[in-house]
Amino acid sequence: MSFPATAPNASKLPYVIRTTGWSLGGVIVLCGVGLAAGLLLFVAFLGRGHAVSISGLLIQAGALALAGICALRLWRLKDPEVELYPDRLVRPGLISPVVLYRSDIEGVSRIYTSRSGSYFNVVALPGRGQSVTFNGRLRSDPVFAEWLSGAPDPTLVAKAADRAKVLADDRYGSTEAERARRLQWATGIVIGFSLVCAGLALWLGFMEAPAPLSLVVALACLSIAYALAGASSGLIVMWRPQMGVRPPALAGFLPAAALAFRGLATVHLLTPEPLVIAAAVVGLAVGLLLFQQSPMAARRLQSAIALGVFGALLAYGAGAFADALSVGHPDHSYVVAVQGKHVSRGRSTTYYLDLDAWGDRPAAAVSVSSNLYYAVVEGSSVCIDHYRGDLRLPWFNIGLCKTAPAAAAGG
């Protein structure tokens, strides 16, 4: 069923929906606190007078930006959440209103839930407008629900179309029933493969298998994933840019991702700047690529930024792991005194040892595993091995001293 260009309830329109209730109160409180905090922080740093620094200017700029955003959000509360007309909807934007015509709407996605609440998307046809995200509670508004009647769910449409293509493809069997069975078999194979890859990723990430063996396992999973996709003649896919019924073998990347996070968490680079620059370039490229290809214009910027940052972290971790891949004899070894230790708790727990100066490095806190953290006490010593690195990026390994110390700290 095609979405009609004119609303079925045209006689009741135009129709305005405004922010009310707990949502309105929450926005007022949150933005009011943000506005006050931004102004107070700006005034506090402004009162320093002659003590001007780059960090202070950055903090002042950030405080002003926070106050400005919160003030703009409070000012926009006078505007409606959405205005409905027989042929279009209008929603206030940051600079100018977002207008989406009914004739340009592809469909309406089902309600989904995130940490900040429930939402749904009114999806625009490619190149015909900007998709708009709405609060899930608006689906219960009777006029808005009637205005959206007749708009299909693009996800369900894509799945039905993909399934119809599979069942009509002679490569997957001589009859429709046989093609359906092969699709079911392919789904089962991918589920089993995904469970195996997830288990291997956990093993590689937490059990710290030898680096050469870890690399072999990760490459084997990637190779099997591509082999499954190639042998199935497209019934199993590697990437799924749009929703469909063909199972993706993306789990083949999990062991490699585990190694990247292992490199990110355990390899201590002494000169990480070249790798940071390379990872930033990779993250920017990933973000731009996803931003260009994502069909969901309303959320593609947020998704591109998040996945770009994730890609940059993976790139950095992969480079760090590759730099420490072949561990031979260290260039130098040091015995370093532990001045103290502390724990940082947030979404994850990080353990730190406060180390004395060693080599040409000043005294600093170093993140370590929980096992090493609890194995040493303040005033004891740990051993640090310095390596040149396979990518010529020096790094060091820290652990308990297994033998009598051969070199003193700084020696």
Q: What is the pLDDT of residues 30-77, one digit of tens each?
A: 888 888 888 888 887 766 554 556 667 777 788 888 888 888 888 878
pLDDT for position 86: 93
Same domain, 18 and 128: yes
| Whole-angstrom distance, CA of residue 108 vs CA of residue 306 | 24
Q: Percentage helix, strand, coil, to 5, in the chain?
A: 50, 20, 30
CA atoms within 13 Å, Cβ hemisphere of 42: 15
pLDDT for position 325: 81
C-alpha 372: how far from chain center: 30
Tokens encoding 248: 């993706």
Decide if 88 contacts 100 (C-beta within 8 A). Answer: yes
| Whole-angstrom distance, CA of residue 137 vs CA of residue 19 | 11
Q: Could you give the C-alpha distances from 273 to 156, 269, 279, 319, 395, in angstroms and in order?
A: 46, 9, 10, 12, 13
Same domain, 196 and 284: no
Q: What is the mean pLDDT of the chain?
A: 83
Same domain, 218 and 300: no
The answer to which of 212-216, 286-290, 349-353 has the lowest mean pLDDT is 286-290
Confidence band of 225 (pLDDT split at 50, 70, 90): very high
Q: Give 345's strand partners.
A: 349
Same domain, 99 and 198: no
Structural domain count of the chain: 4
pLDDT for position 296: 46
Q: Which of residues 81, 113, 147 is at a domain's end?
A: 147
The answer to which of 219-228, 254-263, 399-408 has the lowest mean pLDDT is 399-408
Same domain, 141 and 191: no
Same domain, 245 and 231: yes
Decide if 14 contacts 84 (C-beta within 8 A). Answer: yes
Name the most confidently modeled range: 53-67, 134-148, 287-301. Answer: 134-148
pLDDT for position 301: 64
Give the mean model confidence (pLDDT) for residues 355-381.
Answer: 85
User: For residue 178, which amino acid is it?
Assistant: E
pLDDT for position 88: 92
Answer whether residue 260 shows pLDDT above 70. Answer: yes
Same domain, 40 and 132: yes
Give the mean model confidence (pLDDT) for residues 204-220.
Answer: 83
Q: Does the residue 1 lie in any domain?
A: no
> Model pTM?
0.67
Q: Does the residue 407 lie in any domain?
A: no
Confidence band of 406 (pLDDT split at 50, 70, 90): very low
For the chain, helix (H) and strand (E) counts, in that order, are 10, 14
Confidence band of 307 (pLDDT split at 50, 70, 90): confident
Same domain, 136 and 223: no
Answer whether residue 153 shows pLDDT above 50. Answer: yes
C-alpha 143: how far from chain center: 36
The answer to which of 53-62, 170-179, 241-250 has the lowest mean pLDDT is 53-62
Q: Does the residue 405 lie in any domain?
A: no
Q: Which of residues 325, 352, 367 is at a domain's end?
A: 325
Same domain, 48 and 141: yes
Domain that holds residue 79: 10-147
Same domain, 194 and 246: yes
Q: Is the dihedral of CA 202, 207, 211, 216 positive or negative?
A: negative
Answer whether residue 405 shows pLDDT above 80. Answer: no
The answer to which of 137-151, 152-166, 292-306 has the lowest mean pLDDT is 292-306
pLDDT for position 407: 45
Question: Closest by alpha carbon to 200, among 266, 251, 264?
Answer: 251
Question: Closest by alpha carbon to 271, among 392, 139, 181, 364?
Answer: 392
Give the mean model confidence (pLDDT) for residues 325-352.
Answer: 82
Same domain, 292 and 257: no
Q: Could you give the C-alpha distances from 304 to 24, 140, 285, in angstroms and in order?
A: 29, 30, 10
Q: What is the pLDDT of residues 93-124, one digit of tens each?
A: 767 788 999 999 988 988 877 666 788 889 88
Phi, psi torsion values for 163, nearest 5 degrees: -65, -40
Q: Does the residue 281 lie in any domain?
A: yes
Q: Which of residues 147, 182, 202 is at a domain's end?
A: 147
What CATH number does the domain containing 372 carry? 2.40.50
Q: 206 or 388: whose pLDDT is higher?
A: 388
Q: What is the pLDDT of residues 156-169, one digit of tens each?
A: 888 888 899 999 98
Answer whether residue 402 shows pLDDT above 60. Answer: yes
| Whole-angstrom distance, CA of residue 168 vs CA of residue 176 | 7
Whether the bond into 255 is cis, omega within 30 of 0: no
Phi, psi torsion values for 74, nearest 5 degrees: -65, -40
Same domain, 24 and 132: yes
pLDDT for position 254: 92
Confidence band of 242 (pLDDT split at 50, 70, 90): low
Q: Does the residue 5 lie in any domain?
A: no
CA atoms within 13 Å, Cβ hemisphere of 134: 29
Tokens encoding 236: 């199993």
Tokens encoding 205: 């990430």
Q: What is the pLDDT of residues 15-28, one digit of tens each?
A: 998 887 777 888 88
